[in-house]
Structure 1
Amino acid sequence: MPVQDSGQRQAAEPTTGDRDSRLHPRYRTLYFVDTLHGSDVLSVWERPEPQPRAAPVPLSRAKIAATAIRLADAHGLDGVSVRKIAKELGVGPMRLYDYVLNKSELLDLMVDAVYAQIAEAGQQSEWRATVLAIVHRTRDAALEHEWFADLLGARPHLGPHALAVGESTAAALSQAPGVRGIDDLQRALGALNAFIIGALRREVTERRTARSTGTDMSTWQAALGPYLTRMLETGRYPTVARLVIDGTHLNAEETFHHNLTTVLDGITSFPDT
């Protein structure tokens, strides 16, 4: 039995789903912590791994998360379920509930495993280089695991690797000129995160659209060329016409970097007085 800190306690909760579970219910251990607001169930990050046991297939949260990520990479988040993961691992679904209580915790583990990749960017020699490295590593991770972009922008991710990335980013931005207090830092982080989420979702959506329709952006534009030409010849859209006629197809990575540096220039400069 794991050693508990003072204020922590355990309780057993019956689970269902096994054959003959009405006669012989299985139990999973729930860990609680006493707080000023009562007793709360410990998060997946605070609960100890289940004790190893003799079984043909050893499990761990890391192994479960890695399997879930492979499924999500191949089939998207809709292709991830406890039952499908269990099948991939060659175990019964109920074994997984010893490690995660629900799908929300499973997603937390998956997301934090991706943040572990992002954290590899590490600290650079100065604040701007650190932010650039983290954000470009985030883009790399989102393009490798497209489902990751779907989970950005909601509530903050609070796993240990996500917190480490957040700490590195916030600490770097706090050193930037123009960031002179906590309010400036909050605004800077908000603007940076808004850019990251919007840019990554747009790029991932375009990749998915190209796959699902069988046409890339250039092919789509060529198909609509005659219609667009007729509309532009009306003279009602002169600026759009300039973009279409004079503009070129920009490289996605170069454009991401250019826009990122523009955002950093804006959010870290001293405001006009």
Structure 2
Amino acid sequence: MRMTVWDRPEPPTRPVPLDRERIVAAAVALADEGGLEAVSLRKVAARLNAGPMRLYGYIATKEELFDLMVDEVQAEILPEERPGDWREALRLLAHGTRRTALRHEWLADLLGGRPSLGPNGLAVAEATLAAFDGLAGIDTAMRAVETVGAYCTGAIRREIANLRAERVTGLSKQDWQRARGPYMTSMLATGRFPALSKAVYDGADVDAESSFTTGLDWVLDAVAAKLTRAPA
């Protein structure tokens, strides 16, 4: 059976000291600066003043490196103290995930895939499921966790996509709206889009954090309603 990157032993130290902690820190720094496309074993080795082949003694593939990077930043998600109830626990974990993704935007590209099996990823999963201890059966708890996670992943990806678009175009949300105002005005004036017109002219404009919080509360309300009907 193939070992994971976490239980494969590291090679002995050489003149230029290396270990997985240094390699992952360098990879995270590269990704923070330029996204996942800025990360390769060759670029990480260059940042550490080491030969690329040396890294293969610690990490076999770039996918393993991404796994280690995700696990590294997941340590930032966990709250310092265990919350008193399931709702507060999921709220803290959701906001922790959002804040971590805003610090490390590349994380949004890796959210929602296979579960992280590193120690920090397992700790996040444990804290999430443990919030439902005594409240619901494991299947109900897992569906609740999946539902909240799907909302968070989608909302975070959308927010970061908007931030990236602002940087690429140089236009803020307000600048973009003003630039496309005449087109939208003419399209809405046709009367073909009454619901959209009401949203544009009458809808409240809220910031990303408020929108995330409101949507999260609605999802948690739905989970709470399900918990009152599901057998423990």
Query: What range describes the TM-score normalised by the shorter chain of this pair?
Result: over 0.9
| Partners of 1:122 and 1:130 within 8 A in 2 | no
Structure 1 distance, partners of 2:148, 2:82, is 18
Q: Which amino acid aligns with 1:148?
A: L
- Label 1:102 to 1:218 Cα distance change in 2 as closer, same or farther (>3 A): same
Structure 2 distance, partners of 1:144, 1:174, is 31
Q: Which amino acid aligns with 2:71?
A: D
Structure 1 distance, partners of 2:128, 2:173, is 33
* Aligned match of 1:257: 213
| Partners of 1:131 and 1:173 within 8 A in 2 | no
Q: Which amino acid aligns with 1:48?
A: P
* Aligned match of 1:144: 103
**Map 1:112-191 → 2, pairs under 5 A:** 112-176=71-135, 180-191=136-147
| Partners of 2:78 and 2:93 within 8 A in 1 | yes
Q: Which amino acid aligns with 1:45?
A: W
Does the alignment pair 1:111 with 2:70?
A: yes
**Map 1:1-16 → 2, pairs under 5 A:** none
Structure 1 distance, partners of 2:79, 2:220, is 21
Give the gaps of 5 or more residues in structure 1: 1-39
When structure 1 is superposed on structure 2, of 235-244 and 59-68 the one drifting more is 235-244
* Aligned match of 1:232: 188
Does the alignment pair 1:85 with 2:44?
A: yes
1:116 CA drift (Å): 1.1
Structure 2 distance, partners of 1:70, 1:114, is 11
* Aligned match of 2:10: 49
RMSD over aligned CA atoms reads: 1.6
Structure 2 distance, partners of 1:231, 1:91, is 58
Give the gaps of 5 or more residues in structure 2: none
1:135 CA drift (Å): 0.9
Structure 2 distance, partners of 1:211, 1:175, is 46
Q: Which amino acid aligns with 1:79?
A: A
Structure 2 distance, partners of 1:227, 1:92, is 55
Higher helix share: 2
- Label 1:175 to 1:242 Cα distance change in 2 as closer, same or farther (>3 A): farther
* Aligned match of 2:200: 244
Structure 1 distance, partners of 2:99, 2:118, is 20
1:175 CA drift (Å): 5.0
Q: Percent identity?
A: 47
- Label 1:173 to 1:261 Cα distance change in 2 as closer, same or farther (>3 A): farther
1:271 CA drift (Å): 4.5
Cα deviations by residue, 1:96-140 (Å, 9 ceiling, x for unpaired): 111111111111110000111112454112222211111111000
Number of residue pairs matched by the alignment: 228
Structure with higher Rg: it is 1
Structure 2 distance, partners of 1:90, 1:116, is 27
Structure 2 distance, partners of 1:137, 1:222, is 33
Tell me the SS of whatever aligns to 1:117.
coil
Q: Which amino acid aligns with 1:119?
A: L
Structure 2 distance, partners of 1:115, 1:220, is 33
- Label 1:231 to 1:182 Cα distance change in 2 as closer, same or farther (>3 A): same
| Partners of 1:192 and 1:263 within 8 A in 2 | yes
* Aligned match of 1:215: 171
1:184 CA drift (Å): 1.3
Q: Relative CO higher for 1 or 2, CA cutoff 8 Å, sep ≥ 6?
A: 2
| Partners of 2:6 and 2:118 within 8 A in 1 | yes
Q: Which amino acid aligns with 1:237?
A: F
| Partners of 1:64 and 1:85 within 8 A in 2 | yes
